[in-house]
């Protein structure tokens, strides 16, 4: 029989999108969070963060009674047959992974299981380093429940690959399902759940052991981060070669079927809640095993300094930045999200402020979160045009679609000195004539 009820611990991007995704296809979902304000918002059909399409679907599933959010872990676990752990796994100061929330969640799930007589499946969806599910989650649950893994309860590791900005879509249409299983029965139950949930759209599925599934997630993110730092390295070489243009080079390289054009966009580097922390965690984890992964250290090194290239270009073109008004277009770590975690804009703006520039910034969605980061140290514009007004330099930091609509005439009309630094290669250099000075990552001057 297919399990039609589930509980989800952690209601961030992964937890809430998983909850809404399953609820939208008729599963009874109980989400749980320690934060009562967040639970109240969710129960009113309001997501606590911005994600396209999530609000509408959340409202529908709450109204129909398919999803509710509770602050009590026990209530969630006891009323369902499967519990998914999707709490955050942030970085510690030394870069290694902080597994406190996963461990405490496992303990709480175990306490609830102690009061349950029937079999229950626990699924770890949070990104965790290899060994966590077997050596931390399993003993925590066994200890607090007094039950045996593989007998009284099952355990799987099911890495998540959704992209913020299209998180709900990705939940409903994943390109693969990876199941790491403690035992065959656990894997069978999770596979049946996915087959029922995804129906004819069931993508390729891989069933494996727990540490392999855990490492697949890190390998995935480390590879994508490597592609980004790779193309940025070529872009930085390009910058020194007259007439060379990285966008055309990336196109040419991307036509190779072995490479693909995706994640070959030169720019100011990667940010966000996953790539930086996962690359750091993989490095720290490998070192703990006595292996130093020099490749990933280089990927990180390239990425750490890439944002400053925009500021360097600005200084090269207008000299000392002290007292100059600089417009920054884009604050979120990527378009279609309001997430500011490890956003490149933080490095760019901090450096601009350090140089004495006065910064005015605009982002279609992230201004509330940006205020927590920059406070009153910068000015917040209400639109991209408003942001350009009287600026002596404009830096494109996030590639929002609406910035692509700006015309050379806008920069000429509103800026004090029309100078554009395209940190995300959203404009064709040919678009700008003599009247707008144009510089871009990976485009020689």
Ligand X SMILES: NC(=O)c1ccc[n+]([C@@H]2O[C@H](COP(=O)([O-])OP(=O)(O)OC[C@H]3O[C@@H](n4cnc5c(N)ncnc54)[C@H](O)[C@@H]3O)[C@@H](O)[C@H]2O)c1
Cite the active site residues. Answer: 274
> In angstroms, rounded to a whole number, what is the distance separating the alpha carbons of residues 299 and 304?
9
Nearer to ligand X, 162 or 415 (CB): 162
d(CA 241, CA 282): 35
Is residue 274 a contact residue for ligand X (CB under 6 A)?
yes
Is 324 strand, coil or helix? coil
Rounded Cα gap, residues 203 and 206, in angstroms: 10
Residue nearest to ligand X (CB): 12
Asked if 281 is part of the footprint of ligand X (rule: CB under 6 A), the reply reads no
For the bound state, the minimum distance from the C-beta of residue 8 to ligand X, rounded and expressed in Å, comes to 9
The answer to the question of residue 229 lying near ligand X (CB under 6 A) is no
160 near ligand X, rule: CB under 6 A: yes
Q: Does 7 bind ligand X (CB under 6 A)?
A: no
By CB under 6 A, tell whether 9 contacts ligand X: yes
CA–CA dist 361, 367 (Å, integer): 9
Q: How many positions of this chain bind ligand X (CB under 6 A)?
A: 24
Is 14 one of the binding residues for ligand X (CB under 6 A)? yes
Indicate which single residue of 126, 145, 186, 345 sits in contact with ligand X (rule: CB under 6 A): 126
Torsion over CA: 170, 176, 178, 184 (sign) = positive
Q: Which H or E run contains 215?
A: helix 210-238
> In Å, how far from its chain's centre is CA 377?
26
Mark the segment that binds ligand X (CB under 6 A) among 84-92, 111-119, 302-310, 320-328: 84-92
Q: Is 164 in the site for ligand X (CB under 6 A)?
A: yes
Q: Tokens 């910058």 map to which residue? A: 239
- Using CA atoms, how far apart are residues 280 and 296, in angstroms rounded to an integer? 8
CA 136 – CA 214 distance, rounded (Å): 13
The residues that bridge with 181 in the sheet, in sequence order, are: 156
Least CB distance to ligand X at residue 42 (A) = 10
- Looking at 3, 6, 15, 39, which residue binds ligand X (CB under 6 A)? 15
CB 332 within 8 A of CB 322: no
Of 56-64, 158-166, 299-307, 365-373, the window that binds ligand X (rule: CB under 6 A) is: 158-166
Q: Which residues are at the interface with ligand X (CB under 6 A)? A: 9-15, 33-35, 86-89, 101, 104-105, 126-127, 160, 162, 164, 273-274
């Amino acid at each position: 029989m297919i399990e039609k009820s589930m509980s989800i611990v952690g209601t961030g991007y992964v937890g809430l999108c998983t909850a809404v995704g399953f609820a939208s296809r008729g599963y009874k979902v109980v989400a749980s969070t320690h934060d009562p304000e967040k639970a109240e918002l969710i129960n009113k059909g309001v997501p606590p963060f911005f994600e396209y399409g999530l609000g509408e679907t959340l409202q529908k599933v709450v109204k129909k009674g398919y999803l509710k959010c509770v602050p009590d872990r026990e209530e969630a676990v006891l009323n369902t047959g499967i519990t998914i752990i999707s709490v955050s796994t942030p970085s510690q100061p030394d870069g290694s992974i902080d597994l406190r929330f996963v461990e405490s969640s496992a303990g709480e799930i175990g306490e609830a299981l102690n009061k349950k007589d029937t079999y229950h499946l626990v699924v770890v969806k949070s990104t965790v380093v290899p060994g966590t599910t077997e050596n931390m989650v399993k003993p925590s649950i066994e200890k607090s429940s007094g039950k045996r893994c593989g007998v009284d309860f099952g355990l799987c590791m099911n890495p998540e690959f959704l992209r913020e900005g299209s998180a709900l879509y990705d939940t409903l249409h994943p390109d693969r399902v990876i199941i790491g299983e403690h035992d065959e029965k656990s894997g069978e139950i999770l596979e049946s759940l996915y087959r029922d949930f995804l129906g004819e759209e069931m993508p390729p599925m891989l069933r494996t052991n727990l540490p392999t599934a855990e490492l697949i997630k890190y390998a995935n993110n480390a590879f994508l981060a490597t592609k980004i730092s790779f193309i940025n390295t070529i872009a930085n070489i390009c910058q020194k070669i007259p007439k060379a243009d990285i966008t055309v080079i990336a196109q040419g390289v991307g036509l190779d079927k072995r490479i693909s054009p995706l994640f070959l966009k030169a720019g100011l580097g990667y940010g966000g809640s996953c790539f930086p922390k996962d690359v750091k965690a993989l490095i720290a984890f490998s070192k703990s095993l006595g292996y130093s992964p020099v490749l990933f250290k280089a990927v990180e090194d390239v990425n750490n300094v890439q944002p400053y290239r925009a500021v360097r270009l600005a200084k090269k073109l207008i000299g000392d930045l002290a007292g100059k008004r600089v417009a920054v277009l884009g604050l979120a770590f990527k378009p279609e999200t309001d997430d500011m975690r490890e956003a490149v804009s933080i490095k760019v703006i901090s450096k601009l402020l350090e140089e004495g520039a006065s910064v005015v910034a605009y982002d279609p969605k992230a201004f509330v979160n940006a205020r927590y980061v920059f406070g009153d140290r910068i000015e917040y514009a209400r639109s991209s045009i408003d942001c350009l007004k009287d600026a002596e330099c404009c830096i494109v930091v996030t590639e929002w679609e609406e910035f692509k609509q700006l015309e050379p005439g806008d920069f000429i009309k509103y800026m004090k000195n029309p100078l554009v630094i395209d940190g995300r290669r959203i404009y064709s250099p040919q678009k700008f004539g003599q009247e707008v000075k144009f510089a871009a990552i990976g485009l020689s001057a």
